[in-house]
Amino acid sequence: FEHHNFIQRNRQPKHTMSQLQKLARCMVPPAGVAKKLDWRKLDGTVLSLEIGKHSIGMALAQHPESSCETPVVKALGKIDINRVAHQDNRLTLHPNDVETLREIIKKHSVCGLVVGWPAPSGRLDYNCGLVMHTLQSFQDNDVLNQNRPYALWTPSSLSKDGCDKYGRSAIYAQTAKPQIRSNRERTCTMDAGTILKEFMMEHFEHLNEHNLAA
């Protein structure tokens, strides 16, 4: 639940906090997005996003029972994006980039999104904030809503060793090490296709690397 707690702890002006609360209402567990795809198995798809500072990687998946093609997961490549800086330090997307994503969602009848959560060390850092500010741009423009929710997907490379039965890890009690700015702006080690493959294999039976390869 660290990504949900990040929203709650991210101290912003009142109007921005209200926007973050609206964003939280659009977020569901990954199983919630899988359920959406089950309901829309005949015509719906799920879109995965790998959000970076200057680009967004994308991949698309149909429901396994409705897909007449192999593979189930299809890589859509990356789109270059421009960001607009705000006085409260948010980096939102340029309206043209939001419109590009809206067109992709409409074209492919996307019913839910799976977003890579770039916390390979288990820490909430600059990249997590970048993802949340990007998602806020989507929510502000109705790309995300309660009928088209999103889920955050943590890479399988993020070790869960040392967690107690509540999912808490001692890593969050450690003192953060100083890091230079260039290291803050690293990108997630997974691409959008890998994010979506992991999601589909977790929530749909009888899928494997062979029939998921993008």
DSSP string, 21-72: HHHHHTB--HHHHHHHHHHTTTT-EEEEEEE-SSEEEEEEEE-TTT--SS-S
Give the span between the Cα atoms of 149 and 158, in whole angstroms: 24
Residue 91: predicted pLDDT: 76
Take residue 159 and report the two structure tokens written for it: 């070790």
**pTM score over 0.85:** no
Kindly report, residue by residue over 191-209, the tens digit of the pLDDT: 899 999 999 989 987 776 6
Sign of the alpha-carbon dihedral angle for 8, 11, 14, 15? negative
Residue 108: predicted pLDDT: 94
Take residue 71 and report the two structure tokens written for it: 């593979």
- Asked if 55 and 120 count as a contact pair (C-beta separation under 8 A), the reply is no
Tens place of pLDDT per residue across the chain (214 aa): 555 555 544 544 444 557 778 888 899 999 999 999 999 988 899 999 999 989 999 999 998 887 665 568 899 999 999 988 877 777 788 899 999 999 999 999 999 999 998 875 566 778 888 898 899 889 888 899 999 999 999 866 554 544 444 344 444 455 545 444 444 444 445 689 999 999 998 998 777 665 565 5
Residue 35: predicted pLDDT: 95
Kindly report, residue by residue over 78-101, the tens digit of the pLDDT: 999 998 887 777 778 889 999 999
